[in-house]
Structure 1
Amino acid sequence: MTTELRVLRPGEWDHWFAQLELAFGGVPEGPEERELWDSLTEYERSIGVWDGDACVGTAGAFTFRLSVPGGSSVPTAGVTMVSVASTHRRRGILTSMMRRQLDDIRAGGEPLAVLTASEPDIYGRFGYGIATQQLRAEIDTTRVRLSVPEGTDDVALRLARPVDVIERCEAVYARLVPGRPGMLERRPGWERLPVLDPPGARDGGSPLQCVLAERDGETVGFALYTTKPEWEVTGPRGTVVLQHLGALDPAAYAALWRYLLDIDLMSTLTVRNRPVDDAWQHLVSDIRRCQVRVHDSLHLRLVELGAALEARTYRTPVDVVLDVEDAFCPWNTGRWRLTGDGKGASCARTDDPAELALSVRDLGAAYLGGVSLESLAAAGRVRELREGALAEASTAFGSTVAPWLPHGF
């Protein structure tokens, strides 16, 4: 086989994206989606594998900053649009693209790479660990009541066209980013993604709707949602589908959830992507009628291990020597002394005896604080080499809130 791996050239995007669509089931995206993704594509960070004139592999990366424990936003490559043609499987194409990407990411000075996976077992061999989960739910709004905190009735709600209030919603979102690991700072152009509303993707539902929560003229929250009316012999059985919700305080948060549960003619609220510790679970009267479940979300890789561990803070003081194995990026392999607390951290190579041994994949899973090193050790994926080191490091790596990726890329 003779193939060529190279950076995407002007004029090749349609062909390149068509291969991606084919690999993901062959259903073309609508013109609105294609236009948005074309505008967001960073050509210099997009690669393709070509067999003659045919594109048989695709991969790209977006330039992001990711929030980490402590509130900092760290330069991060958002790996995306990865595919291999079914005619060219088992020929090393995916490995070659992953190799090229990680080398380029390292050269560009980004200590982290992240992705969302169509199949979760693909990327572990390249050092990606599952660092966040997302909560999904189907809430029976005919049977579930909400207990709201004091001040909820002081929040005013106002309907608005989503495209008319993008800036207000984005301002709320931006204020929330430092407070929860795993969130992405939205660069110019990305504000269009939450309000993307192609008619062909509505599946019988309404156009995208927005409700703003306001107090003293200030926007303190928003919810983006659609409604899908349905009728049975016994009456209306419609569904509200929550796309995104952000709020700056408990009263605004509760006011938005109460609104969503009380929309006329609707009997179900579908929640597709929320943090696993989302507070509405403590407001509902019957959690069993909410059909809560979780799903893997953000897969994270440490590209430059030392810089990545120094970029976050730690919940409690930690001083531990990590023995890290990284076959795909061998520059990370070896012993590292991590010293840190709630103010900062240092991480440097050392010849001191190792105290914990683990793979870069499992270190990536624990990096945002959503997966404990203790639980990984219970699965045999982390080995304690000094008594007490595991408990110390596991507590320090934890986060006070669950990490969460609000949207894909």
Structure 2
Amino acid sequence: MTTKLRTVSKDDFDAWYAGLEWAFGGLKESADERRLWHELVDLDRSLGVWDGDRVVGSLGTFALRVSVPGGAVVSAAGVTMVHVAATHRRRGLLRLMMRRALDDYREAGEPLAVLTASEPGIYGRFGFGAATWRMLATIDTARVAVNAPAGADDIALRVEDPARAARRCEELYARLVPRRPGMLERLPGWERLPLLDPPGEREGASARRCVLAEREGELLGYARYALRPRFAEAGPEGAVVVRDLEAATPEAYAALLRYLAEIDLMSTVVLRDLPVDAPLLHLVSDVRRCELRVQDRMYLRPVDVGAALAARSYTTELDVVLDVTDDMCPWNAGRWRLSGGPGGAVCARTGDAADLALPVRALGAAYLGGVSLASLAGAGLVGERRAGALAAAGAAFTGQLAPWLPHTF
């Protein structure tokens, strides 16, 4: 069997994307979705494997910028649109594409690569670790109340068409990005993603709405949501399906959550994408009736260990030598001295003895501060070579807020 790996041209896109759609179940995306992904994907760094005139593998790349601990926003290659045709499994095609992609990212000077995984068991062998997690909640609003703090009653709420409110919502979102690691800066074009609302994907819900939370004309928060009405013999059992909930103040967050929980004829609020430390946990009257679940979200791997570790800041001062193993990116393997603190950091090669030893996927998991080095050590993924190094480095890596990816890519 003869296969050929090459980058994707504009003329290739339709066939390349059709192969991806088939691999993910064969359902066609809406024209608006397809057009947006076509415009956002970096075709010059996207790969396809052809067997004759058939596309049998794909790996796309987005140019992203992700917030890291300390508030900096760092360039990252977003790995996306990955598939290998069922007829061509176990031939090393995914490894071939990933090998080429990581080389390209290094050449472009990108310190990080990130992805969301349809099958999380795949990517650890390529050095990716689960760096952010999301919480899902289904609130039984017949039994759960929202206990809003003082000041929430001063927030004015107004329902608006999402497209009309988009500019103001994006301005607020941009202010929030540096506050929490893992958030994506919305580069040109990405502001259209939250507005996608294909009728065929609403699952019985209404068109999306947007509620704005304001004080004296200043936008402090917003939520995009839809209503899924349902009527049973005993009464209405509708659901409020929330797409986004963003707020700059506790009062605005609580006012929005309370509004969503009190919409007439609805008995549940479904939130599919929250940080694991969302304020919701402390505002609801009965957290047990919120059906909380946690899922892995964004996977991260350093493409350049030195540049990646120097790009973020650290909660406490640290001076630690890391012995990193990295089979996919051998330029990362070896010992690195990381020195820094809240004001920034430097990371460079060293011949000094290691304090901690870990594979690059463990470093990727810990990078945004949401996964502790101690928990990774408990799983046998981090080895302490100098007594006390694990506790000191763990305190420095961990941040105040849990990292969170607000939308997929």
Match of 1:244 in 2: 244
Query: What is the aligned partner in structure 2 of residue 143 from structure 1?
Result: 143
| Equivalent-residue separation in structure 2 for 1:68 and 1:266 (angstroms) | 38
Per-residue deviation, 1:216: 0.9
Trace 1:10-409 onto structure 2 (pairs within 5 A). 10-409=10-409
Unpaired runs of 5+ in structure 1? Answer: none
Q: Which amino acid aligns with 1:60?
A: G
Give a deviation string over 1:128-165, Cα, whole Å, max 9, x none: 00001000011000000111111111110011100111
Using the TM superposition, give the Cα deviation of residue 71 of structure 1 relative to its aligned residue in structure 2, in angstroms. Answer: 0.1
* Identical amino acids, percent of aligned pairs: 61
Amino acid paired to 2:15: H
Q: What's the CA shift string for 1:30-70, capped at 9, x where partnerless?
A: 22211221222221121111011001111111111110000
3-state DSSP of counterpart to 1:11 = helix
Contact 2:43–2:61 (8 Å) recurs in 1: no
Letter in 2 for 1:110: E
Q: Helix, strand or coil for the counterpart of 1:320?
A: strand
TM norm structure 2: 0.99
CA RMSD of aligned residues (A): 0.7
- Partners of 1:365 and 1:39 lie apart in 2 by 30
| Distance in 2, Cα, partners of 1:90 & 1:402 | 37
Could you tell me how far 1:108 is from its partner in structure 2? 0.3
Give the TM-score, by structure 1 length: 0.99
The letter of the residue matching 1:179 is: R
Provide Cα deviations, 1:371-398, integer angstroms capped at 9, x if missing partner.
0000111111111010000000011000
Moved over 3 A (4+): none
Secondary structure of the equivalent of 2:194?
coil
Q: Partner of 2:184: helix, strand, or coil?
A: coil
CA displacement at 1:12 relative to structure 2: 1.3
CA deviation profile, 1:253-280 (whole Å, cap 9, x unmatched): 1110000000000001111010000001
Q: Deviations over 1:112-136 (max 9, x none)?
A: 0000000111000000000010000
Structure 2 CA distance, aligned partners of 1:273 and 1:146?
19
Aligned residues: 409
Q: Distance in 2 between matches of 1:69 and 1:96?
A: 32
Cα drift, residue 179 of structure 1: 0.3
1:190 deviates by 0.5
1:226-282: CA deviations, max 9, x gaps? 110000000100001110011111111111000000000000111101000000110
Deviations 1:182-228 (A, max 9, x none): 00000111111001011111111100110001111111110001110
Amino acid paired to 1:47: L
Equivalent position amino acid for 1:231 in 2:
F
Cα distance between partner residues in 1 of 2:79 and 2:41:
11
The more displaced of 364-373 and 214-223 is: 214-223
Whole-angstrom CA distance in 2 between matches of 1:295 and 1:54: 35
Mapped to 2, the partners of 1:207 and 1:315 lie a distance apart of 43
1:109 maps to amino acid: G
For the residues of structure 1 that align with 2:379 and 2:304, how far apart are their CA atoms?
A: 26
Question: How many angstroms apart in 2 are the aligned matches of 1:133 and 1:204?
Answer: 28
